[in-house]
Chains A and B, each alone.
Chain A
Amino acid sequence: MTRPEILGLWVAVVAVLGGCQVLALVDRRHFAGITELLHRLTCSAPRRAVLLLGWMWLGWHLFAR
């Protein structure tokens, strides 16, 4: 694959992620929005701890290394 094709795939994935939120706004009964997703992911201490470690790694990876 060429670089423009890979960039096109990234654009498509970002569009799908944005589409999930749009879907939730259009049909709140059947689809969860980003707020509910975060709530579900952080509602127990172990899950919250794993996500926090991921968040810390992301910051270290993007800004310190």
Chain B
Amino acid sequence: MASSNWNASHIAALVVALVAASGYAWLAAGTLPFTAAADAWSAVPFLLVAALAWRAGRRSAGRDAVTLGVGSVTRLRAWVVAIALFVALELGTLFAEPRRRFPTASALLDSFDHSRPNKALVFLLWLLLGWALVGR
């Protein structure tokens, strides 16, 4: 019973966090690049995630014994290839001209997030990535 109560409160906390993050992403998506407002709305998650990372680092001090052994590298080989392809295409397009003909990943994202809902979605995904890096 206690376990199901904990699960319910855990799910409720996740829903509240997701709603709050979505609201924050919507407000942040209303700013324009190269403005103080855009700097500020991006800086707040920096500070929050940095604080979470610092706390997680203190908690796990001395437990960083997981290393990339041969077995784990073998298990990750598909990701290594996929990420290498991504980086190669990004670098190839980054140093090619004109940008319209050779779009980079961020140029494609720029054309996607011209509308506020799309920009809010990208911002939310960025927040979730930050949480995935420190919140586990």
Interface set of B (CB-CB < 8 Å, partner A)? 28, 31, 33-34, 38-39, 41-42, 45-46, 49-50, 53, 56-57, 60, 64, 66-68, 72, 74-76, 78-79, 81-83, 85-86, 89, 93, 100-103, 105-106, 108-109, 113, 119, 122-123, 126, 129-130, 132-134, 136
Q: How far is the CA of A49 from the CA of B82 in the complex (A)?
A: 23
Is the CB–CB distance between A61 and B106 below 8 Å?
yes
Once A13-B86, A43-B64 are accepted as A-B contacts, the answer to whether A63 and B76 lie under 8 Å apart by CB is no
Residues of chain B with a CB closer than 8 A to A2's CB: 101
Number of A-B residue pairs, CB cutoff 8 Å, is 116
Is the CB–CB distance between A23 and B78 below 8 Å?
yes
Residues of chain B with a CB closer than 8 A to A25's CB: none
Is the CB–CB distance between B38 and A59 below 8 Å?
no
Size bracket of the A interface? 35 or more
- Does more than half of chain A's interface fall in helix, strand or loop, or is it mixed? helix
Closest to A31 in B: B78
Interface set of A (CB-CB < 8 Å, partner B)? 1-3, 6-7, 9-10, 13, 16-17, 19-20, 23-24, 30-32, 36-40, 42-45, 48-49, 51-52, 55-56, 58-65
Once A38-B136, A40-B72 are accepted as A-B contacts, the answer to whether A55 and B129 lie under 8 Å apart by CB is yes
Closest to A51 in B: B133
